[in-house]
Structures are given as C-alpha cells and as structure tokens.
Structure 1
Amino acid sequence: MNGGFRYLSQQNVAELGGADTQEAFNDACDVVTLMRQGETEMPAEIHVTLQGERGKTYALPAKVGGRFNAVGVKWTAHRPDADDGLPQSMPLTLVNRADSGLPLGLVESSALTAARTAAVSAIALRYAAPRKVRRVLLLGAGVQAIAHLEMLGQLFPELECVNWWHRRPQLLINNTPTTLPWPVHEYADLPQAIALENDAILTCTSAAEPLIDADAIRPGRIVIQVGYHEVSFAAINRCSRVVVDLWGDFCESSAKSLFQMYRAGQFSAGRVDADLGNLLLDGWRPAADDSVYFSSFGLNVFDVALAARVLTRATERNVGTLLSLFSASHYDQDKPC
C-alpha cells in the first residue's frame, strides 16, 4: 500500500479521533510498557529563542516501537505575546517509520498535546490518588482545562461533581462541553474553591506564580500540576508522596515547579516515590491518608505515538493532504505503522 507523505490539519486530526481521551489513555499505557521494555528513545529537547521575552521554539525528538513503529520530532513554537488572535502555542509533529526511516507525515498537534496531557492526568487520578476520586477541583479555562473537563466526562462519569475555578467566563460559554454526566459548579474565588471537599485538584493554568500553597495540601487529596509554576515549594514539601510521569534530564532546565525546586536545592530526586511505570506496571499505590503531588512534565514519546496512530488511521481512510516526496516506486508498500 502506497501511504505517501501526509499533512494532517487540525480538522483532519479531529476527524481521526485525535482528541479522544480514551484512545490517548490506551496509547500512553502502551508506551509506558514499551519504555520499560527498552523499545523507546527520548533524547533531551533543544530550543531556540524567538523575539520577545516569552518566545521559544522547542524540538522534542522521540522513538517508539511496538504497534507505533515511529520516530519523530515534535516542533512547538511558544510564540511571544501577539495580538493577532492566533494560538500562543503552535505544535507540529513530524513522523517517520522507525524501521525504515521512511517519512510518513506532518501532523498539527494541538489536540494531540491536550489529549495526551489529559490522559496522563487520568492515569494519575486512577492510580496515584490516595482515595477513590469523587469530587474534582479544576483550575483554569484554556485549552488544557477544557481537555481535562472532557477527559473527566469521558473516563470518570461516576464523579459526584466538578468544581471549576476560572477567570474567563466568556471562553467557557463558547467552549464548555454540553453533555457532562455530573454537575459543574463554577467559582470565581480561589480560596473558596480550594477549601471545598475535593479529592483532587487539577491545575491547568498558565500562572507564572503559584496558585496552590501548603494550606491546599490535605490527607487523602492529590494535586496534579499540568501548568508550569502553579504549586509552591511549601505545598510540594508538605505532600507525603511525590509522583512524576518521569524524572529525566529535563529536571535541569524545565520551568515546572518541582524542577525549579530541585535546582534550588530544596528537593532531591530520591524523594520521588513513583513514576508512570511504577503506577502501571509495578502496582505502586499511596496509602489512604497520604497527600500526593503529581508533576506532569509531558513526555514527547507520547506525542510521537499519538501522531503515528492518527497517521495510520489517515492512510486507512485516505484523510489529509497527500504530498509527493519521491516517485511512487520509492515508497514502501506496507502500511505506515
């Protein structure tokens, strides 16, 4: 079968199920197993600066075997503040076959990034929470917050409610999913929202200074940090358990709260109690009275795996823009992944 090289737009990715959290959850679980089996590679990211104080572009390469059979690089532009109505973050993922190196396609990856991040949060909620999660506090109203709300609706229909703190009600009116299996209670006062009896707090904001301090840490509660610097060092220090998706070389440069704390000499790698492999493959679980902090760095090996999955489906359904890089005789006749 001549798969060719495909470009998948945001609309194509949505059509192919790129935003489906259950599929992203399954992908992430399979990739964690492949990581344990030594069938993945994830070199350190590199970046170059853009104009402005906050502008950077990141190249995040990875290889993943198994059913994905993919090697690729996620290229993300975190654009400087611009009043042009376009997203601040613009990710694309380039994928080749891992066995032959054949170029497969270029995928617009905003939805994939949101889906894989929410899927990792779902793993944490399911396996790292001290108690069965019934009430969730969601912080934020951007792309990641919406993706997490949809994840909760799809994978946790048994919740009693979701409490939602945000500052952008107009965005919620335009983007809130209309069919959720439980009530959503919105709050404008953050201390009031944190004081509620929540089993889990999901921080999905772009806050440059911590929103969660030590007073938010309680026995039986998990705090999942998705954004960069939303949790104070004091809050992390008060937690009895610290769990990460992975501890890697990125601890030396990442702006995530936990890694800032590490570089400040206030946290050691030996304090990490578990990572995704321990949760999914080793059966690690916290005690019911533990207070758990989960730091979600965001692993590019997941991005490449999800992009490979949608490219496989695109070939099967003939979706996307097919581009010619070589003459037809040069293409491998097998399916891409």
Structure 2
Amino acid sequence: MQNPNNNPAKTGAVVTLTDADLDQYLKNIDVLSIMEKTFAAFAKGQVVQPSQTLTLFPEDRGDFITYQGALSHFNVFGAKLSPYIPTAGAPIITAWTMLMSMETGLPLLLCDSGRLTRERTAATTALAVKKLAPAESKILTIIGTGAIGKAHLMHTLKLRDWQEIRLYSLDLVRDTEKQQAFKAIDSRIVVCDSAKAAVHLSDVVMLCTSSGKPVIDVNDIGKQALITSISTNVAQAHEIDPKALNSMHVYCDYKATTPASAGEMVLAARDHGWSAGKIVGDLTDLCSPSPIKPAYDKSIFFRSIGLGIEDIAIAYAIYSQF
C-alpha cells in the first residue's frame, strides 16, 4: 500500500490497496450519499454506463465480468474485473477495480473490490428504500444474514423509524452466537424461525441471498410492500417467482441493461408475458430533479444487478482520501 501522506496526484504513483487496507478508508465514506450523487449526476448526463461484458476463459476454465463506467463530474473512468474460476472445491471469485483519470489518461488506483462491491450493493438497495418505501414504513425484514445481508442492515437502519427489524436465514436460526451478535447491533432486531414468518405484514423486504430460486412467496407478506433483490453468479438467479412481476410496480438500478441480466426479468419475459417496457423507472429517474413518484396501489419490486458506475464512484471516494 502507498503511504497516504504522499499525494499520488503529485507523485504520479498508482495507489494500490488490498482488502486489508480498506478499513481505514471505508469508515470515512458515506456510501449511500455517494450512490445518490452518482445517480443524480447520471440524470444530468454526466455519467456513461456501458453494459456489462461477460468473457469466457478458453478450455472451459471459467469467465470474468467487466463492469465499466465514466464519471465526468469526478473526471474519472475505469472498470472492475470479476473472474469466476471453478476449482475442485469452491470456485474462486475475486474483483479488482482500476480507476483512471479522464484528464491524463493515467491510472490512479488499483484496489481489491470485494468489500467495496458489498458496500456499494447494499448502499444501492438502501437508496431504493430511501426513494421507494412509504414514509410510514415500520417493519423491515432482511432475508439472508451473510456479509451482504449485514451491510444492507447497516445502510438501512436509519432510513425509516422502524419499529421492528426481522432477520432470517437458515444459518442464523442454527447459530445462537450469531443471533446475539446481530441483536447487539440494535434492540429492534428480531430473529425469525422461517422466511414466511419474517415477511408477514412487513413494509420492506430486502432479499440478500445468493439463491438461484425463490426464497420467499410474495403472497406470504399479506400486504403491499417494497421488495428488493440483488444479483449473484448463479445463472438466471432470482429470489422471487418471476410471474410475480406482473402484479407489482417494477423498478431497477438501470433499465437499459438490468432486464437482460436479472434472472426473474428474463424468465418473466420468456414465460409469463412480462416485458421490460413495464418497468416504471430506475435509480436515475428516482434521483433526477423531477423524480418519478411511486404509486402505492400495489407492491413494488426493485432489482439491482450492480453497475460499473457504482464501482468507479466508490473507488474514487477511496482515492480522494490520498
């Protein structure tokens, strides 16, 4: 890692950070605010977001996804590369971001992006909750309590005056020590013994799993709610039944690219008569000077797949501390 007392902008050095280096810089960043400003800049035409690209390795040895983006308001561009490498055991999945200057064309930062991806993913979901959840929302439910689920919890704790925060995962139900660790975060946290019990009468349900099939039945909620879902490496991954999209107002992170990648959208279009034209709006619309106001006559579904501009924005926030 470079010495933070040396200004790389003056020395021409490329800042290189591993996962272990990031704690001291992440704690200084309001990631939710960064995501909101990034999508507001997108609405002003100051951001370019190309589609993700999937490149297969030769000889069936895996693949890598490239997440690109250019942000003129920060004068930076770059890309995150995330490989998927199968092994005899668990696959190897890493992510590294290269941040470059739009003024000089030179590299500024190379950093491990595993933790940054987790934080920007959770903050993007939190931004959707901020923009789409009714102001009077009282019950928050999180399905999935790994690192990404915990990040979602931390980014949404203060967004509404929650009366109850419900958590569920098989792992959490079986681990009393982990239950106590979560309850120590906030006194409103309740651990549920099933997904069905967790979502019942919830106002906001955040799905934070790596599942390739539905993890809840949306009918178990029993009322209108905001449901959010994230991406995973599983092919056509989806955390709700695709046909449910026809009964909800649908939003996403970027309507130009998400429908072609999000599993439930692909399956809903193929099998259930849904189309991308039914998407109400995306985060750019929600963060524009004249934002689309959500209707609350039926449930709302928000889907994110992760965008390169999010990776570049959080990488710039790290770099700007040098």
Which ranges of structure 1 fall in alignment gaps of 5 or more residues?
Answer: 316-337
Cα gap change, 1:284 to 1:108, in 2 (>3 Å):
same
Question: In the alignment, which residue of structure 1 is the partner of 2:38?
Answer: 31
Cα gap change, 1:5 to 1:73, in 2 (>3 Å):
same
Q: What is the TM-score when the length of structure 1 is the normalising length?
A: 0.81
CA distance in 2, matches of 1:278, 1:309: 23
CA distance in 2, matches of 1:308, 1:140: 29
CA distance in 1, matches of 2:207, 2:252: 15
Q: What is the deviation of 1:209?
A: 1.0
The one-letter amino acid paired with 2:162 is: L
Question: In the alignment, which residue of structure 2 is the partner of 1:210?
Answer: 214
CA deviations 1:113-140 (Å, max 9, x no partner) are 1111111111211211245322111011
Secondary structure (helix, strand or coil) at the match of 2:287 reads helix
CA deviations 1:303-331 (Å, max 9, x no partner) are 11110110121x2xxxxxxxxxxxxxxxx
Cα gap change, 1:65 to 1:3, in 2 (>3 Å):
same
Which of structure 1's runs of 4+ aligned residues deviate more than 6 A?
Answer: 51-54
Q: What is the deviation of 1:88?
A: 4.9
1:77 aligns with 2:83: yes
1:271 aligns with 2:278: yes
Q: Contact 2:52–2:66 (CA<8 Å) still a contact in 1?
A: yes
Q: What is the deviation of 1:278?
A: 2.1
Q: Contact 1:43–1:61 (CA<8 Å) still a contact in 2?
A: yes
The one-letter amino acid paired with 1:303 is: D
Question: In the alignment, which residue of structure 2 is the partner of 1:89?
Answer: 93
Secondary structure (helix, strand or coil) at the match of 1:47 reads strand
The one-letter amino acid paired with 2:171 is: R
Query: 1:72-221 residue pairs with structure 2 within 5 A?
Result: 72-80=78-86, 83=89, 88-153=92-157, 155-156=158-159, 158-169=161-172, 173=177, 176=181, 179-194=184-199, 196-216=200-220, 218-221=222-225
Query: 1:315-330 residue pairs with structure 2 within 5 A?
Result: 315=322
Question: In the alignment, which residue of structure 1 is the partner of 2:307?
Answer: 299
Q: Contact 1:244–1:274 (CA<8 Å) still a contact in 2?
A: yes
Secondary structure (helix, strand or coil) at the match of 1:206 reads coil
Q: What is the deviation of 1:177?
A: 5.3
Secondary structure (helix, strand or coil) at the match of 2:95 reads strand
1:62 aligns with 2:69: yes
Q: What is the deviation of 1:2?
A: 1.7
Structure with the bigger RCO (C-alpha within 8 Å, sep 6+) is: 1
Residue 256 (structure 1) aligned to one of 256, 263, 266: 263
Secondary structure (helix, strand or coil) at the match of 2:64 reads strand
Cα gap change, 1:60 to 1:290, in 2 (>3 Å):
same
Q: Contact 1:19–1:115 (CA<8 Å) still a contact in 2?
A: no
Secondary structure (helix, strand or coil) at the match of 1:94 reads strand
Question: In the alignment, which residue of structure 2 is the partner of 1:236?
Answer: 245
| Percent of paired sites with the same residue | 23
Q: Contact 1:218–1:291 (CA<8 Å) still a contact in 2?
A: no
Cα gap change, 1:312 to 1:19, in 2 (>3 Å):
closer
Number of aligned residue pairs: 305
CA deviations 1:282-304 (Å, max 9, x no partner) are 23222344311111121111111
CA distance in 2, matches of 1:57, 1:76: 5
Q: What is the TM-score when the length of structure 2 is the normalising length?
A: 0.84
Question: In the alignment, which residue of structure 1 is the partner of 2:5?
Answer: none
Q: Contact 1:45–1:61 (CA<8 Å) still a contact in 2?
A: yes
Which sits farther off after the overlay, 296-305 or 36-45? 36-45
Instruction: Tell me how large the CA RMSD over aligned residues is.
Output: 2.7
Q: What is the deviation of 1:262?
A: 2.8
1:42 aligns with 2:49: yes
Q: What is the deviation of 1:193?
A: 2.0
CA distance in 2, matches of 1:118, 1:276: 14
Which sits farther off after the overlay, 222-231 or 199-208? 222-231
Which sits farther off after the overlay, 110-119 or 214-223? 214-223
The one-letter amino acid paired with 2:14 is: F
Cα gap change, 1:142 to 1:88, in 2 (>3 Å):
farther
Secondary structure (helix, strand or coil) at the match of 1:270 reads helix
Q: Contact 1:25–1:119 (CA<8 Å) still a contact in 2?
A: yes
CA distance in 2, matches of 1:51, 1:110: 25
Which ranges of structure 2 fall in alignment gaps of 5 or more residues?
Answer: 1-9, 232-236
CA deviations 1:220-251 (Å, max 9, x no partner) are 31111124310112322221x11111112453
Secondary structure (helix, strand or coil) at the match of 1:273 reads strand
Q: What is the deviation of 1:266?
A: 2.4
CA distance in 1, matches of 2:107, 2:134: 44
Q: Contact 1:217–1:238 (CA<8 Å) still a contact in 2?
A: no
Secondary structure (helix, strand or coil) at the match of 2:280 reads coil
